[in-house]
A and B are shown apart, each in its own frame.
Chain A
């Protein structure tokens, strides 16, 4: 958060933070994801797009441990060079040790807790250690009091970023939809992640809220956290992402800069649809192009 870490991350940006190799996920007879590989680079916003039912959320759930993939390897490289094989970790360990945080497509807040409490729950592991796994904290030792104060300061920092300071003491369930989205992102950030995975952060937002969200996400990237996001809203994707991966029927059809993807005939075909005979035409065109590279 300080300029020091900023400088450090900018030095290291560009190297791979998340590497997904040959990922496959089968639900019974359905192949939801088929041999999917991509890389996300540190300090970038990587977007995962694709039509409905393409398997984007399944990829997310595999990365964050909510599903165990049928096949494949997911490697998360931390800033200090440490590698974590995410497919082997449990869901909570991925956040705790590998420093990957996520949000959900249908917002999951603790609606009965206040906005501030939501952000404090996110700092559970730090506070737990500071409280000596509750025992020392029960005795009222100063170490825990300091940690609790630091936690509130950290929460306050993200409240300001997400423009929620005025609502800090209100129940999270009382917030408007857009504010709930921002709170969920702030809450994920309070876990201190290196990679933040957002599942359709702009869904259901009006254009104005969408713009504020873009600014928030850019701010997060500039502070050194890499982002991976699923999005339907093309204006958001093209506006803020540095790298776009397109998924259709569980397979990667395109991978590159927003401009590259925008003009990829395969992507256009996937989104707008083409006649059957045209598909083959398009594919052969693409393949000849690929061969030329």
Chain B
């Protein structure tokens, strides 16, 4: 007779084979029509179809073998490791944090400060453009937007699907006021923030009574209204043509980045004429803006208003029973979040030199919200990581030339960006349903600061 362990081993294999065949059958059923058959037009413009049995076989095989390996080898391995850990009595949470983990924020900040310098040294001024502009600035804009939205969604628990409206208000405030009145970036930056905050309050008033799904729908509508106004109010906004030739930001009014100007910054510094210096300057501006956002958010969380926001997310009725004016609390959350959106918007306008309603579509709101949710609602670090993964990841896909070797020379990775992006999101949400950082840092403590597990915090009801 076989020993028990051999017995379970053979039982496991039989189970793995069975599940593998089953998964293959499901994949066959699902992909038979989508993958197995292809339609195309022949020379006479007739629609004809042909079969792709080889490709279908690959799909089915991947599914079947993948399932077989998961059930037969990967899952038992993970279970064994978990069991060993439980037996040894070492809890995962009590493990000592490594040096990198402990000093993560400092390391990240130094890396960010050195990032443009490093890329200039490695790739030269012109070669660094891609890394500083496409990756650095692009990601930091989304970090800032997501941190702004985090105040509304992550802290106050008000689901806002129209956040891009405030981004648009900030961008157009800068574009219009600088074009019509010639005001400088450093005056318009705070002004754009104030104007966006005002719009945040204007939006806040009608939606105060709404909660949950209803709030989400109204904010979504608000985002669309702003975009449609921008498209149709052609006298002011020039409609879909957008506003071009927006003034560049100056170095605090001392040096400028216009090549013709006598105070041209690279010349004053003795550098070669290149647009890269402007981008590097912008990189530091957005980095500073992000740090301001993070600082204000961290400070606000420890203030009564920040605690009231989080309490509002947990239970609105209890808030009112404690004498908290929930109307004012919600409005300040909307206004503060919108203000950071406005800052980011005016920065976006000066960086692009061009704004049009096309930049402020619903997809942008969805991406920003996805970053907040993926990062872990309320956690600044988690959101920053999520922004790097999502924005940086999609940018990186543009560079994936080697994918052509796998999928054939006519494969264009850019077209699959959104597909892969969606897949990545589903995978992250399956394994980390509370986002990258699911726990919450308490704002005050008596003896020791213990992180609050994500299973206790609520997402808010609107």
Residues of B within 8 A of A124 (CB): 304, 307-308, 322-324
Give the shortest distance, in Å, between A78 (CB) and chain B (any CB): 15
Known contacts A108-B315, A113-B442: does B304 contact A131 (CB below 8 Å)?
yes
Q: Does B458 lie at the interface of the complex (its beta carbon under 8 Å from any beta carbon of A)?
A: yes
Q: Are B324 and A114 in contact (CB under 8 A)?
A: no
Known contacts A128-B305, A169-B447: does B440 contact A112 (CB below 8 Å)?
yes
Q: Mark B227-240, 1 if CB is under 8 A from A, else 0.
A: 00000000000000
Q: How many residues of A contact B (CB 8 A)?
A: 48
Q: Mark B311-350, 1 if CB is under 8 A from A, else 0.
A: 1011101111111111000001000000000000000000
Known contacts A169-B449, A187-B322: does B307 contact A109 (CB below 8 Å)?
no
Nearest B residue to A170, CB-CB: B450
Q: Does B303 lie at the interface of the complex (its beta carbon under 8 Å from any beta carbon of A)?
A: yes
Known contacts A168-B446, A169-B442, A169-B447: does B458 contact A138 (CB below 8 Å)?
no
Of listed A64, A110, A173, A188, residue having the most chain B CB within 10 A: A110
Residues of B within 8 A of A109 (CB): 314-315, 318
Q: How many residues of B contact A (CB 8 A)?
A: 39
Known contacts A124-B304, A124-B323: does B318 contact A116 (CB below 8 Å)?
no
Q: Are A169 and B323 in contact (CB under 8 A)?
A: no
Distance, CA A96 to CA B453, complexed state (A) = 32
Residues of A within 8 A of B225 (CB): none
Q: Does A117 lie at the interface of the complex (its beta carbon under 8 Å from any beta carbon of B)?
A: yes
Q: Are B452 and A92 in contact (CB under 8 A)?
A: no
Q: Are A138 and B318 in contact (CB under 8 A)?
A: no
Q: Does B445 lie at the interface of the complex (its beta carbon under 8 Å from any beta carbon of A)?
A: yes
Nearest A residue to B314, CB-CB: A110
Give the shortest distance, in Å, between A155 (CB) and chain B (any CB): 8
Q: Are A128 and B304 in contact (CB under 8 A)?
A: yes
Nearest A residue to B459, CB-CB: A112
Q: Per a CB cutoff under 8 Å, which of A110, A168, A174 touches B318?
A: A110
Q: Per a CB cutoff under 8 Å, which of A64, A123, A159 touches B321?
A: A64
Q: Does A134 lie at the interface of the complex (its beta carbon under 8 Å from any beta carbon of B)?
A: yes
Give the shortest distance, in Å, between B447 (CB) and chain A (any CB): 6
Q: Are B445 and A121 in contact (CB under 8 A)?
A: no
Residues of A within 8 A of B449 (CB): 169
Q: Are A95 and B321 in contact (CB under 8 A)?
A: yes
Known contacts A112-B458, A169-B449: does B323 contact A191 (CB below 8 Å)?
yes
Q: Are B444 and A108 in contact (CB under 8 A)?
A: no
Q: Does A165 lie at the interface of the complex (its beta carbon under 8 Å from any beta carbon of B)?
A: yes
Known contacts A120-B307, A121-B311: does B444 contact A112 (CB below 8 Å)?
no
Q: Per a CB cutoff under 8 Å, which of B304, B321, B445 touches A108?
A: B321
Within 8 A of B (CB), among A130-173: 131, 134, 137-138, 148, 152, 156, 159, 165, 168-173
Q: Are B300 and A171 in contact (CB under 8 A)?
A: no
Q: Per a CB cutoff under 8 Å, which of A108, A122, A131 touches B303?
A: A131
Give the shortest distance, in Å, between B77 (CB) and chain A (any CB): 33
Give the shortest distance, in Å, between A113 (CB) and chain B (any CB): 6
Residues of A within 8 A of B317 (CB): 66, 104, 108
Give the shortest distance, in Å, between A179 (CB) and chain B (any CB): 14
Q: Does A91 lie at the interface of the complex (its beta carbon under 8 Å from any beta carbon of B)?
A: yes
Q: Per a CB cutoff under 8 Å, which of A96, A117, A131, A169 touches B448?
A: A169
Nearest B residue to A126, CB-CB: B304
Q: Does B119 lie at the interface of the complex (its beta carbon under 8 Å from any beta carbon of A)?
A: no
Q: Does A127 lie at the interface of the complex (its beta carbon under 8 Å from any beta carbon of B)?
A: yes
Distance, CA A112 to CA B310, complexed state (A) = 9
Residues of A within 8 A of B453 (CB): 171
Nearest A residue to B442, CB-CB: A114
Known contacts A91-B320, A101-B321: does B304 contact A114 (CB below 8 Å)?
no
Distance, CA A104 to CA B318, complexed state (A) = 8
Within 8 A of A (CB), among B422-462: 440, 442-450, 452-453, 456-458
Q: Mark A93-108, 1 if CB is under 8 A from B, else 0.
A: 1111000011110001
Nearest B residue to A94, CB-CB: B323
Q: Per a CB cutoff under 8 Å, which of B313, B320, B322, B458 touches A122?
A: B322
Known contacts A112-B457, A124-B304, A131-B303: does B321 contact A91 (CB below 8 Å)?
yes
Q: Does B84 lie at the interface of the complex (its beta carbon under 8 Å from any beta carbon of A)?
A: no
Q: Does A52 lie at the interface of the complex (its beta carbon under 8 Å from any beta carbon of B)?
A: no
Distance, CA A173 to CA B373, complexed state (A) = 22
Q: Are A101 and B304 in contact (CB under 8 A)?
A: no
Residues of A in contact with B (beta carbons under 8 Å apart): 64, 66, 91-96, 101-104, 108-114, 116-117, 120-125, 127-128, 131, 134, 137-138, 148, 152, 156, 159, 165, 168-174, 187-188, 191
Subset of 21 A-B contacts with CB under 8 Å: A95-B322, A95-B323, A96-B323, A112-B313, A112-B452, A112-B458, A114-B444, A114-B445, A121-B307, A122-B322, A124-B307, A124-B322, A124-B323, A138-B300, A159-B446, A168-B446, A168-B447, A171-B456, A172-B456, A188-B321, A191-B323
Residues of B in contact with A (beta carbons under 8 Å apart): 296, 299-300, 303-305, 307-308, 310-311, 313-315, 317-326, 332, 440, 442-450, 452-453, 456-458
